[in-house]
Structure 1
Amino acid sequence: MQPTRLFDWGYGVHMIDGYDLGIPGRTGIYVLEGDAPALVETGPAPSIPYIKAGLQELGYSPADIRYIIVTHIHLDHAGGAGLLLQSCPQAKVVVHPRGKRHLADPTRLVQGARMVYGEQFDQLFDPIVPIPEERLIVKEDGDSLDLGGGRRLGFIDSPGHAAHHFSFFDPLSRGWFTGDTAGVRYHQTEDLGFSFYLPSTSPNQFDPDAMKQSIKRMAERKPERLFFGHFGMSNEPKEVFRQVTAELDHFVAIATEAMTAGEGAEGIERRLVERYRVASEQRGCGLDHPVWEGLKLDMNVCAMGLEHYLRKQAETHNR
């Protein structure tokens, strides 16, 4: 798939498909044009050849890239950053303050991912290359990054999906690059005339109240566009924020019912899948539709995050 031009007004925004997990349309890597061009996200290491090919299609060399911005350090967003940096001699990696040490020393990231993915880890994520500390730049809440040509990015701390998550506003596109905090865009149903948006509640730092507060801060800027880690751009920010906030309440309520019934993460996942099976079939989208390849994977991970959150809440309450 060739890069997609999402915005074009002076300096543009392009998206390269990273084929995360080998699935098309799952993880987007963005190219921000400017006097100092930047990439947003890298995906895992297997996405790097797609990024290099996409840059070549756009007329860029990896040596042209000055910044690699990762919204958070989950491997589907930042796992390939160290590997890509080896081909980008002028670039530095921009990261949340809580994520810096894990990119410099990814030992704990690797250990955690191996526990979850087991024998699949090498195929999905290897290699994860440490990043020298002198090539890491931290952006705190309220910081900015000037790419030139009127493109000065504004960063906010945006927890909810993860504590090591920031989002940033691009004044040229009037858009937020949301990572995973404002949910996932399921674009595959566009052939049926609609897209939909769900929260991403993966373990182990999911916090629904923090997620709502982060979304509220984004909404206050009155954006015209949202750019998602998964996947692409939406021109309907108000609808995105409405759907994700509403479904977040449903996620927590469904998870609470499942945990009360002693069903654990498996029960949460089963109930979530059933909710969206019914909703999608009402709109002519059956379980054989391509959207379900990613949706089922996401519900599995979301269920684990919801279970972890509710167990943590119960432990806190019982102290």
Structure 2
Amino acid sequence: MSAALASADHGIVTVDTGFQRPIFDAAYLLIENGRAAFVDCGTQHSIPALLGALAAHGLTPAEVDWLILTHVHLDHAGGAGALMRRLPNARLAVHPRGAPHMIDPSRLVAGATAVYGEEEMARSYGEIVPIPQERVVVADDGYVVDLAGRPLLCVDTPGHARHHLCVWDQRSRGWFTGDTFGLSYREFDSARGPFVLPTSSPVQFEPEPLKRSIRALLARDPAGMYLTHYGRVGDAQRLGAELIEQIDAMVGMARAAAQPGGEGLHERLTAALADYFAARAREHGSPLSEAQVRAALAIDVELNAQGLEVWLARGG
């Protein structure tokens, strides 16, 4: 079996999409009674890994009934349109706020191209392909995807983005969390277990809704959380409490950094966040050196700072 796959547990296979680096961006293949669903899909460049996962488990693209997106950020959904062209019988389930961007991705592409440039868009994400409206199912809060008799409950979970949903699988007593339950990179694991930190988005981060979403996930007393970044983690109650604690700390840092006002907010905030997460990694017993921790989290610190700054500008 490919190193990109983890063995199926409760019919759930973790697929490394290959986005950016190994063991960074996961999609999930769910298998039930000879039928399949994907939760998230990575980018257009991820399609060979996804189709390879099907083949490794004796399935064909025609046996995939669903592609479920937790949200439409490109590391989760950039390859959705291209993948759907390879899955003749699949429907796409997506949050009501995300559905228009999958049917007509032009605004999504324009916004991302303005940030990354055309060359980086092609390198990292490939082509963003529209999905015919008749194949798109709007998954309102409480919508149940039926995978060959296996119910997959879609729950509205704002905070990271307003177009975010999480998926509850009663069979595994697990949540597919997208980015709502933060980031847990495997190289940070220690004797204490997984290390976790929150992730904002540059335009829609909302601390209080995010904390409410995390508490809603914990209320089901899950046995496991299936994160996009990266893989299944247990110990959900501890991790959830740590996420809420960190969100409050991030808000405090943002407000403190904004106090002097004017120039230098971004530099003050990124420095405070980097110091904070590095200290938490040390306390966790991470096997990485401090320099490695800071390098591994540099992009996430930058994104969290951007999200906090936009939130402050909206009156946070």
TM-score by length of 1: 0.91
2:298 aligned residue = 296
CA offset digits 1:115-145 (Å, max 9, x no partner): 2212412111120001110110111111111
Residue identity opposite 1:5 in structure 2: S
Moved more, 183-192 or 69-78: 183-192
> Residues 122-133 of structure 1: matches in 2 within 5 Å?
122-133=122-133
1:317 equivalent in structure 2: none
Moved more, 65-74 or 191-200: 191-200
- What's the % identity of the aligned pairs? 36
Q: Distance in 1 between matches of 2:270 and 2:110?
A: 25
1:6–1:34: structure 2 CA closer, same or farther, 3 Å change rule? Answer: closer
Aligned partners of 2:17 and 2:25 also within 8 Å: yes
**Matched residue, 2:147:** 147
1:197 paired to 2:196 = yes
Offset of residue 202 of structure 1: 1.3
Give the letter for the 2:134 counterpart: E
Residues 160 and 210 of structure 2 are in contact (CA less than 8 Å); yes or no, is this contact kept in structure 1?
Answer: yes
Report the CA distance between 1:67 and its aligned residue: 0.3
Q: Partner of 1:259 in structure 2?
A: 258
**How far 1:252 moved relative to its partner?**
1.0
State the Cα deviation string for residues 257-284 of structure 1 (Å, max 9, x = none). 2222343333322211122223334535
Q: Per-residue deviation at 1:184? A: 1.1
Matched, 1:279 2:283: no
Spell out, residue by residue over 1:9-63, the C-alpha distance to the aligned partner (whole angstroms, 9 max, x if none): xxx1110001212x11111110111143100001121222221222222222222
What SS does the corresponding residue of 1:4 show, helix, strand or coil? coil
Helix, strand or coil: the match of 1:15? Answer: strand
Instruction: Tell me the residue number matched to 1:184.
Output: 183
Q: Which moved more, 1:243-252 or 1:119-128?
A: 119-128
Query: Conserved in 1, the CA contact under 8 Å of 2:19 and 2:25?
Result: yes
Letter in 2 for 1:33: I
Residue in 2 that maps onto 1:64: 63
Residue of structure 2 aligned with 1:29, choices 23, 27, 35: 27
Partner AA of 1:114 in structure 2: T
Q: Give the drift of 1:293.
A: 4.8
Farther-moved stretch of structure 1 (278-287 vs 109-118)? 278-287
Partner of 1:94: 93
Give the Å deviation of 1:166: 0.8
Deviation at 1:171, TM superposition (A): 0.7
What letter is aligned with 2:68? I
Q: 1:195–1:88: structure 2 CA closer, same or farther, 3 Å change rule?
A: same
Partner of 1:7: 9
The one-letter code matched in structure 2 to 1:13 is I
User: Shift of residue 193 of structure 1?
Assistant: 5.8
**Residues 219 and 278 of structure 1: is their aligned pair in 2 closer, same or farther, counting only changes over 3 Å?**
closer
- The more displaced of 127-136 and 194-203 is 194-203
In structure 2, relative to structure 1, the CA distance for the partners of 1:180 and 1:136 (3 Å cut) is same
Secondary structure in 2 aligned to 1:218?
helix
Distance in 1 separating the partners of 2:189 and 2:198: 19
Q: CA RMSD in A?
A: 1.7
Which stretch shows the higher mean deviation, 270-279 or 291-300? 291-300
CA–CA separation in structure 1 for the residues paired with 2:219 and 2:177: 14
Change (3 A) 1:59 1:80: same
In structure 2, relative to structure 1, the CA distance for the partners of 1:179 and 1:213 (3 Å cut) is: same
Q: One-letter code of the match for 1:45?
A: Q
- Note the residue ranges of structure 2 that are not aligned, 5 or more in a row: none
Looking at structure 2, the residues matched to 55 and 131 of structure 1 have their Cα atoms a distance apart, in angstroms, of 21
Please name the residue that 1:120 is paired with.
120
C-alpha deviation, 1:179, in angstroms = 0.9
Equivalent residues of 1:188, 1:195 under 8 A apart: no
Question: Would the alpha carbon gap of residues 100 and 245 (structure 1) be closer, same or farther in structure 2, given more than 3 Å must change?
Answer: same
**Deviations, residues 80-111 of structure 1 (Å, cap 9, x unaligned):** 00011111111111100111110011111111
The answer as to whether partners of 1:266 and 1:303 remain within 8 angstroms in 2 is no
| Cα distance in structure 2, aligned partners of 1:274 and 1:99 | 34
Cross-structure match for 1:242: 241
